Amino acid sequence: MSIASGAPDTSGAVGVEDAPLYVVGDVHGHLEPLREALLEQGLIDEDGHWAGGAARLWFLGDFTDRGPDGIGVVELAMQLSEEAAEAGGSSRMLLGNHEILLLGVYFFGDHPVPVAGGSTTFREIWLRNGGLQWDLDRFTDAQALWLARQPVAAVVDQYLLVHSDSNAYLEYGSTIEDIDGEIRDLLGDPEPLPCWDLFRNLTRRGAFMGETGTLAAADLMGELGGRQIVHGHTPIPYQTGEDPALIDGPRVYADGQVINLDGGIYLGGPCLVARLPLREPVEPPVSGSDDETLGMVYDIDEDPEYR
C-alpha cells in the first residue's frame, strides 16, 4: 500500500504573517505535559480546545514513541489543526524521524531492511527506538495519511523550521518545495526502502555543533531561506551535558544562528513550547556557496541506534 496515496500538495513554505508564532519541540507521547505547556501559553483551554485565536503553532515532529500516549498526541495535533483554522489561526507540524518510522512499521512491518552487517525490519528498529504496541494498535489509515501529507521544513517569519539538526534535507532538493515534493513521492512509493532511507537520513544530527556548525547552519539557510534555524530531534541535555530536569527553555547556539527546542522530555526534561522571537535573529555569516564548502556533509553523529 502506498503511504501517501491521495496526499495533496502541502509545501512547507509559509509567508510572514502578523500573528504570534509558537513552536513545540519533541513530545514523544507525553500528552499531558504537552497539554499543560499549551495551556500555559494560552493556546488551548482547560478542555483541550484551541484558544489561541489567530496565533500560529508549529510542531517540530516526533509525536510518538517512548511516552505513554503517542496516538493521543497525534489526535490532539489533528484536532488543533482543524480548530485553529476555524478560529483564524493555524496549527501545523513537520515530519520527524519517528513519524517516518511509525509510517514504516504501519505499512511495511516485518519487511527486511538493510543495516550494517546484515538486515533487520521496520518493526525491530521501531521497538528498539521506543515504539509501543498500544500506539500501533490505535494508529489508523486516516492518521497515517494525515501524517504523510505534512511537510518536512518551513520558513516562517524568517525562521527555518526543521525537525533534525542536520543538512540531510539538501539531499532531497535545493528548495523547500522541491524537498517536500520529493519526500511526498518517496512516501507514495509502495516499496519500503525509500521510506527506510528517509528515516535513516532524518536521524542524522549534530550538524550545527562544533567548529563547522556555523558554516553548516549558514549553508542550510543559504539554500532554503531563513535567518535562524529552529529544530528539535537532539535533546538539549545531549548537547550540553546538563541534568534534563534543569532545562528551562530553548537553547540558542552556533553564534545565535540556531535554536534547539528539544527539552529531552523522555529523559525527564520539559515539553518546550516557545513563542518566537526569543531574540532578534542574527545575520548569518557568509554561507558555503563557496565551492570548497558547498555540499559538505556536516553531521557529526549518524547515531547507529537511530533514536
pLDDT digits (tens, 9 = 90+) for 45-79: 999 999 999 999 999 999 999 999 999 999 999 99
Confidence band, pLDDT 50/70/90 cuts, at residue 301:
low
What's the confidence (pLDDT) of residue 178?
Answer: 97
pLDDT tier at 279 (50, 70, 90 boundaries)?
Answer: low
**CB-count burial class (<10 Å; 0-12, 13-18, 19+) for 40:** exposed
- pLDDT at res. 119: 86
CATH of domain 21-276: 3.60.21.10
Beta-carbon-side half-sphere exposure of residue 193 (alpha carbons within 13 Å): 3
Q: What are phi and psi of 154, to 5 degrees?
A: -155, 145
Domain ranges in the chain? Answer: 21-276
Instruction: Check residue 118 and give its pLDDT.
Output: 82
The string of pLDDT tens digits covering residues 139-190 is 999 999 999 999 999 999 999 999 999 999 999 999 999 999 999 999 988 8
Average pLDDT, the chain: 89
Q: What is the pLDDT of residues 228-237, one digit of tens each?
A: 999 999 999 9
Tell which residue, 306, 293, 304, 295, has the closest CA to residue 211.
293
